[in-house]
Amino acid sequence: KAGVTQTPRYLIKTRGQQVTLSCSPISGHRSVSWYQQTPGQGLQFLFEYFSETQRNKGNFPGRFSGRQFSNSRSEMNVSTLELGDSALYLCASSLASQGTYGYTFGSGTRLTVV
Amino acid sequence: AQSVAQPEDQVNVAEGNPLTVKCTYSVSGNPYLFWYVQYPNRGLQFLLKYITGDNLVKGSYGFEAEFNKSQTSFHLKKPSALVSDSALYFCAVRDVQSSASKIIFGSGTRLSIRP
């Protein structure tokens, strides 16, 4: 079966702009979680959506938001981009909420803010 | 609060030798524990998990991990390393008892296998 698909793979944006990243989970998976990966901070949890509801949220400013659609696809939005938002953004899909039995990750979206 | 620590930033092993990547955790209840591997410019790949049962868990690519409750550890091991095992390895934990918990990841250990 198809894996977790993240689009786009690479993105370059200017400070102050906004960006939307997309994630299509494995078919049948209702949970989608988002992580930010940077060399200095490692993997930081952003939020989790399960059946279109946000179940959990990490310690990120309100500029970071997300949503999940009825087909389980999820989008993440970052407004008013800052240089420090440059990172690899990873989407993880799971059958159960909170990744109880483990995640399947997408290849990520590499966001560069200039 | 839950936390996970990987005390070694880098582990260097000769091909054919056994390898160990260390992980310790802290949760208030019982843990779910995971190991993931990341290759350059890719997402994380699942290696193995401990949910309950046998303390020795076998996973993908010949890796295994041992859950040690008294030492709160979940070290990743492989009897004979391959050059292709060189990658970034992450340990992760989730507190079973907390309904609001999430999976958190360690800082990662870079494994380098020399020919």
Tens of pLDDT, residue by residue over A41-75, are 889 999 999 999 998 899 999 999 999 999 999 99
User: What are the pLDDT digits (tens) for B56-114?
Assistant: 999 999 999 999 999 999 999 999 999 999 999 999 998 877 666 678 899 999 999 99
CB-based burial label for B71 (10 Å; 0-12, 13-18, 19+)? exposed
* CA terminus-to-terminus distance, chain A: 37
Is A4's Cβ below 8 Å from some Cβ in B?
Answer: yes
For residue B85, give the 3-state DSSP assignment. helix
- Tell me the C-alpha distance between B31 and B50, whole Å: 8
Q: What would the DSSP string read from start to end of B1-45?
A: --EEE---SEEEEETTS-EEE--EEE-SSPEEEEEEEE-TTS-EE
Determine whether the interchain pair A101/B49 forms a contact, defined as Cβ–Cβ distance below 8 Å. yes
% chain B with pLDDT above 70: 97
Measured over the CA atoms of residue B63, residue B25, residue A65 and residue A77, the dihedral's sign is negative
User: What are the pLDDT digits (tens) for A1-22?
Assistant: 679 999 999 999 999 999 999 9
User: In chain B, which residue's Cα lies nearest the Cα of A98?
Assistant: B102
Chain A CB contacts of B34 under 8 Å are: 102
